[in-house]
Amino acid sequence: MLIIRPIRSSDFNALLQIAHESGHGFTSLPVNEELLRNKIARAEASVSKQVEKPFDEGYLMVMEDSETGEVVGTCGIEAAVGMEDAFYHYRLGTEVYHSEQIDVRNEVETLTLCHDYTGAAELCTLFLREGYRQGNNGRFLSRSRFLFLAEHPERFGEIVIAEMRGVSDDEGNSPFYNWLQQHFLGIDFVHADYLSGLGQKAFMGEMMPRNPIYVPLLPSEAQEVIGEVHANTRPALRLLHAEGFRHRGYVDIFDGGPTVECNLTDIRSVQASRSLEVSTGEVDAVGDTYIVANGEVENYRAIIVQRTLDDEARNLMLTAEEAEALMVNIGDQVRILAI
């Protein structure tokens, strides 16, 4: 059985291995032991904290194979980005130039550095190890976060965003970043991305262009990848589109990948999830596939079950094994979502 739960300090080696496997462009998991230990400690502190208003909490979950005890994936949610460290984006805009005298009108696309998403919640750190990329595992890992958002909306910003990985090659070279390196930052993409992942972002404010950038003046290879996603990220983007996330013209400052957004209460899976009361006994494991999560924070658990349920159902029958995995008893409430 695959179980999703909050990360704990004993998962450090597994998280380090995932950081190695995730490769270039996976900013939220740089290969740095001190940062990864701090990330785990912050996640442990966040789930044990009483929250009335989101600030700088970070919730990092792992997917565990209960048969082997192996951690096979991660997913995370930032409660409110940019509250302590600057959270930069480029905002795509348009400037209009018009002259009646010469009868010419031009619309020129621009990129402007901004902090517009400060305070938004962020979906992040989604990674599933290769041997488990099958069946509903990816959907389970990603969509389990929406049940957590639905159950604990007070812990998150009203807008939820996701930064999509932009175009880069196997060596980490980004066509969008190359011009920035040449004219402004002077360090390569992998180094800049690594520093960003460490939270060492002072160089951005010091070295990034301070005025709007005219897109037509960029090299053609840089223009072509603005708002485009890495080939490996397309399935994740399709899933988020199905949830109601849309690109509103914001792109990553390093690789030009799109950031998508949705109001928390408008996310399809948040709206479609519902609470049922637990009962236990013998069940027929047939029917539709559901994600089931308990209502906890520090002891959050989510699993997949197959059941036949109608829209009027108020109870969910669980096997003893499923109830134990979810850490629930008869009469407790769980939240379900059909995959």
Percentage with pLDDT > 70 across the chain: 94
Q: Mean pLDDT check: name the lowest of 123-127, 157-161, 204-208, 263-267.
A: 204-208
Residue 315's CB is within 10 A of a number of other CB atoms, namely: 12
pLDDT by residue (tens digit) across 95-141? 998 988 888 899 999 999 999 999 999 999 999 998 899 999 999 99
Contact 203, 193 (CB under 8 A): no
Neighbour tally for 11: CB within 10 Å: 20
The more confident residue out of 255 and 116 is: 116
149: enclosing H helix or E strand? helix 137-151
Q: At what angle do helices 234-242 and 137-151 cross, to 10 degrees?
A: 40
The tens digit of pLDDT for each residue in 211-254 reads 899 999 899 999 999 999 988 889 889 999 999 999 999 999 88
Per residue, the 3-state secondary structure of 196-241, as one string, reads HHCCCCHHHHHHCCCCCEEHHHCCHHHHHCCCCCCHHHHHHHHHHH
In degrees and rounded to multiples of 5, residue 297 shows phi and psi of -115, -65
Q: Which CATH class is domain 2-90+114-269?
A: alpha beta
Task: Find how far residue 9's CA is from the centre of its chain.
Answer: 21
| Mean pLDDT within 173-197 | 75
pLDDT the model gives residue 194: 66
Residue 25 scores a pLDDT above 60? no
Question: What are the phi and psi torsion angles at 250 (to 5°)?
Answer: -105, 135
pLDDT band at 22 (very low <50, low <70, confident <90, very high): confident
What is the set of active-site residues? Answer: 230
Half-sphere exposure of 319 (CA within 13 A, CB side): 14
In Å, how far are 181, 204, 217, 220 from 175, measured between CA atoms?
A: 10, 18, 14, 9
How far apart (Å, rounded) are the C-alpha atoms in residues 192 and 181? Answer: 9
In this prediction, residue 317 carries a pLDDT of: 92
Positions of CATH 3.40.630.30 in the chain = 2-90+114-269
DSSP state letters, 298-311? TT--EEEEEE---T
Instruction: For CATH 2.40.40.20, list the domain ranges present in the chain.
Output: 274-338
Q: What phi and psi, each to the nearest 5 degrees, are found at residue 145? A: -65, -30
- As assigned by CATH, the class of the 274-338 domain is mainly beta
- Mean pLDDT in residue range 173-196: 76
Q: What is the mean pLDDT of residues 42-69?
A: 95
* Buried/exposed 173-187: b ≥16 CB within 10 Å, e otherwise: ebbbbbbbbeeebeb
Is the pTM here over 0.85, yes or no? yes
Stretch 250-274: mean pLDDT: 95
What is the mean pLDDT of the segment spanning 269-276?
Answer: 96
Better-scored residue on pLDDT, 273 or 312 = 273
Q: How many CA atoms lie within 13 A of 77 on its CB side?
A: 27
Contacts of 128 (CB under 8 A, 6+ apart): 63, 72, 73, 137, 138, 141
